[in-house]
């Protein structure tokens, strides 16, 4: 009885297939590995990748198990925390000495002239605010200076003259009670005219008008809620803001 030929590499040689089939199989494996590697490092769509591999399999006549993968997504960026605002510029030693003298002179004036009832001193960054209550300067709804305010304004004018390196912004404020007259259609006009009235008085005391500005804010920026006569009186005011001039 004739024996069957053995299946395997030896039978391949007998049938003339040769060893090239081993090299061919290795090449196919390497190609498939190469495409899988390309897919892993790229953003190639998964469906398109399957289509490519299926095309290769069809051409090679082989079946290969394909692992299901998900499309790669770009890594999410970590949100960057906003930078904190820079600190206000610090005064130099010379500015500290100049500011210290200004503050001391104003405090001395208020104490010696017993003006604490009418003037409030407020220290701010690189500037000093001299706040004068409104009723000592003007009658209600008016923009003409009361004669009793002249000595107070004269003392403030002397401070401004003694510190020529400071520019001055004179600010006028009112309470929230509306006004509507031919001269003052609103609190804005009233506060602006009051500020410029005080400015003109300072100019009459030989202060350089180029150092000064006048601004009216109406009932904006109140110091206290306008819910009582006392609080409304606080909001009616004129402020002298002294700030060091830039070199």
Q: For the domain that residue 104 is a member of, what is the CATH number?
A: 3.30.1330.60
Q: Rounded to whole angstroms, how far apart are CA atoms 99 and 93?
A: 10
Q: How far is CA 63 from CA 7, 20, 30, 53, in A?
A: 21, 20, 15, 10
Query: Do residues 200 and 105 both lie within one domain?
Result: yes
118 occurs within a structural domain: yes
Query: Do residues 117 and 176 both lie within one domain?
Result: yes
Q: Rounded to whole angstroms, how far apart are CA atoms 110 and 145?
A: 20
Query: Do residues 128 and 218 both lie within one domain?
Result: yes
Asked if 170 and 195 count as a contact pair (C-beta separation under 8 A), the reply is yes
Query: Do residues 151 and 194 both lie within one domain?
Result: yes
Q: What is the pLDDT of residue 20?
A: 65
Q: Rounded to whole angstroms, how far apart are CA atoms 247 and 244?
A: 9
Query: Do residues 158 and 53 both lie within one domain?
Result: no
Among residues 10, 36, 71, the one where a domain terminates is 71
Query: Do residues 36 and 125 both lie within one domain?
Result: no
141 occurs within a structural domain: yes
Query: Do residues 35 and 105 both lie within one domain?
Result: no
Strand partners, 124: 127
Q: What is the pLDDT of residue 99?
A: 84
3-state DSSP assignment of residue 11: helix
111 occurs within a structural domain: yes
Q: Rounded to whole angstroms, how far apart are CA atoms 102 and 124?
A: 13
Count of domains forming the chain: 2
Asked if 212 and 156 count as a contact pair (C-beta separation under 8 A), the reply is no
**Sequence-distant (≥ 6) Cβ neighbours of residue 109 within 8 angstroms:** 115, 155, 156, 158, 159
Q: What is the pLDDT of residue 70?
A: 42
148 occurs within a structural domain: yes
Count CB-CB contacts under 10 A for residue 43. Answer: 9
Query: Do residues 155 and 228 both lie within one domain?
Result: yes
Q: Which domain holds residue 135?
A: 93-244
* Structure confidence by residue, pLDDT tens digits, 203-247: 999 999 999 999 999 999 999 999 999 999 999 999 999 998 775
Query: Do residues 65 and 97 both lie within one domain?
Result: no
65 occurs within a structural domain: yes
185 occurs within a structural domain: yes
Query: Do residues 61 and 145 both lie within one domain?
Result: no
Asked if 171 and 195 count as a contact pair (C-beta separation under 8 A), the reply is yes
212 occurs within a structural domain: yes
In 3D space, the residue among 217, 235, 218 whose CA is nearest the CA of residue 226 turns out to be 235
3-state DSSP assignment of residue 133: strand
3-state DSSP assignment of residue 79: coil
Query: Do residues 61 and 103 both lie within one domain?
Result: no
Low-confidence ranges of the chain (pLDDT < 70): 1-22, 35, 37-97, 247
In 3D space, the residue among 96, 138, 136, 141 whose CA is nearest the CA of residue 117 turns out to be 136
Q: Where are the alpha helices (DSSP H) in 84-138?
A: 93-112
Query: Do residues 134 and 22 both lie within one domain?
Result: no
The structure's pTM equals 0.62
176 occurs within a structural domain: yes
Q: What is the pLDDT of residue 192?
A: 97
């Amino acid at each position: 009885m004739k024996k069957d030929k053995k299946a395997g590499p030896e039978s391949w040689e007998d049938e003339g297939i040769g060893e090239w089939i081993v090299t061919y199989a290795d090449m196919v494996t390497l190609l498939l590995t190469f495409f899988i590697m390309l897919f892993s490092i790229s953003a190639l769509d998964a469906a398109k990748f399957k289509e490519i591999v299926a095309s290769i399999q069809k051409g090679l006549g082989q079946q290969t198990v394909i692992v299901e993968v998900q499309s790669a997504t770009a890594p999410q960026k970590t949100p960057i925390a906003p930078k904190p605002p820079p600190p206000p510029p610090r005064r130099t030693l010379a500015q500290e000495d100049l500011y210290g003298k200004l503050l001391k002179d104003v405090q001395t004036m208020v104490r010696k002239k017993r003006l604490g009832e009418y003037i409030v001193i407020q220290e701010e960054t690189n500037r000093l605010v001299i706040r004068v209550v409104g009723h000592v300067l003007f009658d209600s709804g008016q923009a003409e200076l009361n004669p009793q305010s002249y000595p107070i304004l004269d003392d403030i004018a002397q401070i401004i003259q003694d510190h020529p390196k400071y520019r001055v912004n004179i600010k006028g404020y009112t309470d929230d009670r509306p006004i509507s007259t031919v001269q003052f259609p609103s609190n804005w006009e009233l506060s602006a005219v009051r500020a410029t009235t005080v400015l003109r008085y300072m100019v009459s005391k030989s202060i350089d008008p180029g150092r000064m500005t006048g601004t009216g804010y109406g009932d904006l920026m109140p110091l206290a809620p306008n819910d009582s006569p006392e609080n409304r009186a606080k909001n009616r005011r004129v402020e002298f803001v002294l700030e060091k001039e830039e070199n």
